[in-house]
Amino acid sequence: MPKIKSVYAREILDSRGNPTIETTVWSDNGRGAVASIPSGASIGRLEAFELRDGDPHRFDGLGVLKACANVNQLISKYVVGLDPLRQNDIDQILLNLDGTENKSKLGANAILSVSQACFELGASCAEIPTFEYTAQKYGFATPSPLHLPNPIFNLINGGKHGAGNLDFQEFHCIPSSRKSFSQSLEMASELYHLLKKTLIEKKATSSVGDEGGYAPNLVSNTDAIELLVETIESSPYKLNEDVYLGLDIAATSLYRSNKYKISDIKDPLTGSQFADFLIDLNRKYSLLSIEDPFDQDAWEDWESLTAGLGKQLMIVGDDLLVTNLSRLQEAIKRSACNAILVKPNQIGTISETVSVIKLAKANNFSVIVSHRSGDTDEDFLADFAVGVEADFVKFGAPGRGERVAKYNRLLFIQEYLESLHPTQ
Ligand code: PGA
Ligand code: ZN
């Protein structure tokens, strides 16, 4: 039985240039694993607590030296000596050490960095790739090249990730599930470059936002959707056949005094007026998914939109559900949505993340494994998504290192699985 020999956390930078934590673990059989933790900009009210130093003299208060110290001075004492293959025991020890509802004592960033690094070390000690280890450990189906998660590409960034007038946070292109992962990635890359050309022609600036999608200077959200339609129409691909559209409204960010203010319409909209606006958009564009259409606490609006559109498209809970078992239970009870965005750092351990995925699947929710807007070159999520049989992955645009690290890992996994199943 291998044993964890050392655990060490350090401060590195994420893709936004902000500090984040990276933890390295070693086992006594000479194996090692590293995990770095991403960070969000549009953060749900009930997400697990991300511990930052708050020292104005370092990184404007965003340093994570306290989180690193919690790993190096406290957590390591309890984790050294454990078997890296016993993930649930490791995570339980982390939960006991913290002892709070939202991991506010040690920080979910500190805790997840250890949980994830130990999980990767377990895979290494088991001498199998992390995606296979995930599937075996938690009883998911053996991964097959035909059932890789479908990618959701974020080609236009607005809201807290962009610049200018776009209030909606993400404008997605979603290749048809009939395409292989590599075909989907090729299509997304071609559309990404065509979109840039279209933006330059229209003299809408083409800088990129936090997730690598363009952050153009447009008048309204509908203009951004139209631009995607135009781009697809100028490509060899067919809208709503080869590729579909989706949105992450991140509506909590545009909710003020019980109303939604968007650049498309002069006056702020009530929840039901905003629902009508979204229903109209769907009538026009046949969307495949709408994420966070309403504020994170506007349960009734979620329920009525899901009752109206839930059979046609995915209504995705991100800030609503925050990868949290009790929020998901509430959403199931209320039929408030039919898909869940899964971000391990919203909850803080691998085991809890898997429990949420299992409950979601048992209730026929679609599962979308997602990065964060501030991310690192970590590719763990690609393996994790394949291992848990996620329906979709959302890793941003097909550009920028921290985004393509994950897409490129999926390419590798596809090729690896095809070599094992040459006839599929
Ligand atoms: P975040 O955004 O990482 O800034 O929270 C991602 C999302 O809302 O899906
Ligand atoms: Zn979101």
Residue 214 has what DSSP assignment?
B
Q: Which ligand is nearest to the CA of 373?
A: 1
pLDDT confidence tier of residue 421, bands split at 50, 70 and 90: confident
Task: Work out which ligand 1 atom sits closest to the CA atom of 169.
Answer: 8
Query: Domain end: 64, 93, 127, which one?
Result: 127
pLDDT for the residue numbered 205? 78
How far is it, in rounded angstroms, from Cα 151 to Cα 184?
7
Q: Is residue 105 part of a domain?
A: yes
What's the rounded Cα separation, in Å, for the pair 12 and 39? 12
Q: Which ligand has the nearest atom to the CA of 211? A: 1
**Which atom of ligand 1 is least distant from the CA of 161?**
4
For residue range 147-163, list pLDDT tens digits in order. Answer: 999 999 999 999 999 98
| pLDDT tops 70 at residue 423 | no
The DSSP symbol for 421 reads S
Q: Which of 127, 161, 194 is the last residue of a domain?
A: 127
Ligand nearest to the CA of 158: 1
- Judge if 299 and 373 occupy the same domain: yes
Instruction: Identify the sign of the CA torsion 387, 388, 390, 393.
Output: negative
- Are residues 109 and 144 part of one domain? no
Per-residue pLDDT, averaged over 319-336, amounts to 98
> Which residue, 48, 51, 56, 84, is CA-closest to 68?
51
Whether residues 224 and 373 share a domain: the answer is yes
Q: Which residues contact 271 (CB under 8 A, 6 or more apart)?
A: 258, 260, 294, 295, 298, 300, 301
Catalytic positions: 211, 343
CA of 329 to the centre of ligand 1 (A): 22
Q: Model confidence over 202-251: pLDDT tens digits?
A: 998 779 999 999 999 899 999 999 999 999 999 999 999 999 999 999 99
Query: How many structural domains compose the chain?
Result: 2
For position 213, what pLDDT does the model report? 97
Show which of 106, 127, 148 is a domain's final residue.
Answer: 127
**CATH number for the domain that contains residue 32:** 3.30.390.10
Average pLDDT over residues 177-201: 97
In the chain, the percentage of residues whose pLDDT exceeds 90 is 96
Distance (angstroms) between ligand 2 centre and the Cα of 419 equals: 35
Task: Output the pLDDT for position 100.
Answer: 98
User: Nearest C-alpha to atom 1 of ligand 1 is from which residue?
Assistant: 40
Distance 248 CA to ligand 2 centre (A): 6
Residue 9 is part of which domain span?
4-127
Q: Which residue has the tokens 């500190």?
A: 110
Distance 6 CA to ligand 1 centre (A): 32
Pocket lined around ligand 1, Cβ cut-off 6 Å: 40-43, 169, 248, 250, 318, 341, 370, 372-373
Whether residue 220 is found in the same domain as residue 331: yes
Residue 221 and residue 82 share a domain: no
For residue 132, tell me if it sits in a domain. no
Q: Tell me, what's the pLDDT at 285?
A: 98
Give the mean pLDDT of the chain: 97
Question: Residue 206: its pLDDT value, please?
Answer: 72
pLDDT of residue 130: 98
In a domain, 133, yes or no: no
What are the DSSP calls for 266-295, one per residue? SS-B-HHHHHHHHHHHHHHH--SEEE--S-
Q: What atom of ligand 1 comes closest to residue 371's alpha carbon?
A: 3
**pTM of the shown model:** 0.98
Percentage of the chain exceeding pLDDT 70: 100
Q: What is the rounded distance in angstroms from the CA atom of residue 364 to the CA atom of residue 351?
A: 20
- Of 240, 218, 206, 205, residue with least CA distance to 168: 218
Is 148 part of any domain? Answer: yes
Give pLDDT, residue 163.
81
Given a cut of 80, is residue 422 above it in pLDDT? no
Q: Read off the pLDDT of each residue in 66-71 and give the average, rounded to a whole number.
A: 98
* DSSP code per residue over 332-358: HHHT--SEEEE-HHHH--HHHHHHHHH
Q: What is the pLDDT of residue 165?
A: 86
pLDDT at 424 over 70: no
Q: Kindly indicate the confidence band of residue 164, based on its pLDDT and cuts at 50, 70 and 90.
A: confident
Q: Which of 28-42, 191-205, 267-281, 353-367 has the lowest mean pLDDT?
A: 191-205
pLDDT tens digits along 389-399:
999 999 999 99
